[in-house]
Amino acid sequence: MRYKLLFPVVLILCVFMAWGGSFAFASSDGFAAARKIETRYFTVQIGPGIDELDLVRTLDISAGDKVLAGLSSDSGKDLSAYSLSDLLDALFLWSSNLLDMQLYSYRGNVKVVANEDMLADIYLKIYGSERTGEKAFYIYDTNTVYVAAPNFTKEIVGHEVAHAIISNYFVVQPSVKVQEVLAGYIEYNLRKKSSRQR
């Protein structure tokens, strides 16, 4: 009889501990007070001092990318008229189609920091080890892409978004090498697309 009463209590305690742990992690990465933008597929958190229009410019969106986002390809339109949320969703859809991995109910996070030093600090807090030269990385446990603002290019963000798609598409995670090959395939196609447009 005691065991029947003990099970719900233990279950409730486990839920509160898991919830508290995720809250502690969310605040420890420094984004508790960051500006948020909701898109169809992502919650984007932008660190202080980062301009959304600068991120749109760094993505280097072409007329083809604008059409993919469901936007007019009117070349005379001011770049600020295109929202970051539409462009990130377009990148997600383009990557999903290229990988042939559709995730219709996907929700993930993108967190943008001001520079690579801040990104390295977050990496150190999360993994407990230093890793230099990180332009971006993806964490499966929190379904979050971290990227430094100067590296917010469609190639780098596309690579990390591909990791998110791959990780959420398969029930059993492919090996790291397989994931890197697939994410590299997305990055390669984005680079090839960019070089053709120049």
Is residue 147 within 8 Å of residue 157, measured between CB atoms? yes
Interval 157-196: pLDDT, tens? 999 999 999 999 999 999 999 999 999 999 999 988 766 6
Question: Is the pTM value of this prediction over 0.85?
Answer: no
- Spatial CA neighbour of 35 closest among 27, 23, 26, 45: 45
The structural domains of the chain, with segments of one domain joined by +, span 1-30, 33-197
Domain 33-197 is found in CATH 3.40.30: yes
